Amino acid sequence: EALLHAICTHLRLAIERAELVESYVQTQKLQQSLQLAREIQMGLLPQKFPAFPNRPEIDVFATVKPALDVGGDLYDFFLRDDDHLCFVIGDVSDKGIPAALFMAVVRTAFRISAMATQKSIDVAVRTVNEFIAGNNDSQMFVTMLAGIMDLRTGTIEYVDGGHEPPFIVRRTNAVETVEMDACIALGVMPEATYHT
């Protein structure tokens, strides 16, 4: 009986160790998957600065630091043509992997929409809203500020999609809040309207 008890104790310890090793291996695999997801997500966003080395009149910098390994913050900027810089800043309503996936869809939909239409930026934002609101079983949404800068004049045409207002820092270092017409976040109502 004592021998059987000793064998059972050793078996129990061996099983517990095996379970701990399995748990550790699974945790490591999850960490590797999250690291890969982070690399993929960050790879979707512009990270090469200066962004337009052949265009000294354009100085753009952006970065994202998710609260978790991956997240729902997004930005993008690109030249729509030689004279117009298109940009977007957004924040998905959730955190973690679901927000990262939603962010990737929104960022891609915005870029395609903004490049496809040479019309006002509000058309691109409405198109993105219709797309994500019509395919949104997760009930997530994204706040967004999108705009186009005319590089010849410095004029910016922008659309608020429920995002916090941006700031302008003047050459004198004076900071001003940009006045915005409040609009609803994207993904909530497919028929929402957005104005420049």
Q: What DSSP string describes 145-196?
A: EEEEEETTT--EEEEEEBPPPPEEE-TT--EEEPP----PPBTS-TT-----
Q: What is the DSSP letter of 54?
A: T
Q: Which of 124, 97, 85, 84 is nearest to 108 (CA)?
A: 124
Q: Considering the chain, what percentage of its residues have pLDDT values greater than 70?
A: 100
Q: In the sheet that 142-150 helps form, which strands lie side by side, from edge to edge?
A: 73-81, 84-92, 142-150, 156-161
pLDDT per position as a tens digit, 165-181: 999 999 999 999 998 87
Per the DSSP assignment, residues forming a β-bridge with 87 are 77, 147
pLDDT per position as a tens digit, 122-136: 999 999 999 999 888
How many CA within 13 A on the CB side of residue 157?
Answer: 18
Judged against a pLDDT cut of 90, whether residue 153 lies above it is answered with yes
Which of 25-29, 42-46, 77-81 is the least confident region? 25-29
Judged against a pLDDT cut of 80, whether residue 138 lies above it is answered with yes
Q: What is the pLDDT of residue 66?
A: 76
Q: Which long-range contacts (CB under 8 A, 24 or more apart) does 83-87 make?
A: 83/150, 83/151, 83/152, 84/148, 84/149, 84/150, 84/151, 85/58, 85/60, 85/148, 85/149, 85/151, 86/114, 86/115, 86/121, 86/146, 86/147, 86/148, 87/60, 87/146, 87/147, 87/148, 87/149
AA identity, residue 75: Y
pTM: 0.81
Structure tokens at 161: 């999609």
